[in-house]
């Protein structure tokens, strides 16, 4: 069992996986164009599992945990990760901003008045705000689409907290 929340950093080609991990509530960074030395530093300092696709590029370094995915598709990659880290047990779907990985907080309608369409403000009473980018989330069609996609991939998503 992990004694701290599991965190990840993914290689650039794995951005779809990175987003899926955020969707499931996991702390996941994408490497983007960071140099290997910077990724190594982040992985060690923040105790992130470095998810990669190419075994030949594994420059094994003390203190880093690597995870090599072999599937080319997100559902298969998630299954591989689940087998290793019990992600289905740890997931907290839709608790994180998809854009910047920050945690969302539940806010009252008054706080998001100018940041959501009027019909949404009228028909919903639970809103989630990203404290980093200010993006507002609610249980709308976008979130339902994501939940449907996760379900198609075999991830049973419990919508907690009325999300």
Rounded to whole angstroms, how far apart are CA atoms 87 and 124? 30
Smallest separation (angstroms) from Zn ion to the CB of 95: 12
Rounded to whole angstroms, how far apart are CA atoms 135 and 142? 14
Q: Binding-site residue total for Zn ion (CB under 5 A)?
A: 8
According to CB under 5 A, which residues from 99 to 118 bind Zn ion?
A: 99-100, 102
Smallest separation (angstroms) from Zn ion to the CB of 135: 5
Rounded to whole angstroms, how far apart are CA atoms 10 and 150? 19
DSSP string over 6-53: -EEEE-GGGHHHHHHHHHTT-EEEE-TT--HHHHHHHHHHTTEEEEES
Nearer to Zn ion, 133 or 159 (CB): 133
Distance of CA 128 to the CA centre of its chain: 16
Q: Phi and psi at residue 56, in whole multiples of 5°?
A: -70, -20
Rounded to whole angstroms, how far apart are CA atoms 69 and 82? 11
According to CB under 5 A, which residues from 15 to 74 bind Zn ion?
A: none
Stretch that binds Zn ion, among 13-21, 78-86, 94-102, 140-148 (CB under 5 A): 94-102
Residue from 132, 142, 144, 161 touching Zn ion (CB under 5 A): that is 132
Residue 130 binding Zn ion, by CB under 5 A: yes
Stretch that binds Zn ion, among 13-21, 114-122, 123-131, 137-145 (CB under 5 A): 123-131
Stretch that binds Zn ion, among 16-24, 27-35, 122-130, 137-145 (CB under 5 A): 122-130
């Amino acid at each position: 069992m992990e004694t701290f929340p599991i965190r990840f950093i993914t290689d650039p080609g794995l951005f779809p996986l990175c987003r899926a991990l955020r969707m499931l509530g996991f702390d996941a960074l994408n490497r983007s164009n960071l140099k290997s030395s910077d990724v190594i530093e982040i992985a060690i300092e923040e105790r992130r599992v470095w998810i990669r696709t190419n075994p030949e590029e594994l420059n094994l370094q003390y203190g880093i945990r690597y995870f090599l995915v072999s599937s080319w598709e997100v559902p298969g990659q998630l299954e591989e990760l689940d087998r290793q880290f019990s992600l289905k047990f740890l997931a907290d779907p839709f608790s994180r901003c998809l854009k910047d990985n920050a945690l969302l907080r539940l806010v009252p309608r008054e706080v998001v008045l100018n940041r959501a369409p009027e019909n949404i403000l009228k028909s919903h009473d639970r809103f989630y705000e990203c404290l980093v980018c200010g993006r507002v989330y609610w249980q709308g069609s976008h979130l339902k689409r994501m939940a449907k996609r996760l379900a198609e991939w075999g991830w049973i998503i419990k919508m907690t907290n009325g999300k």
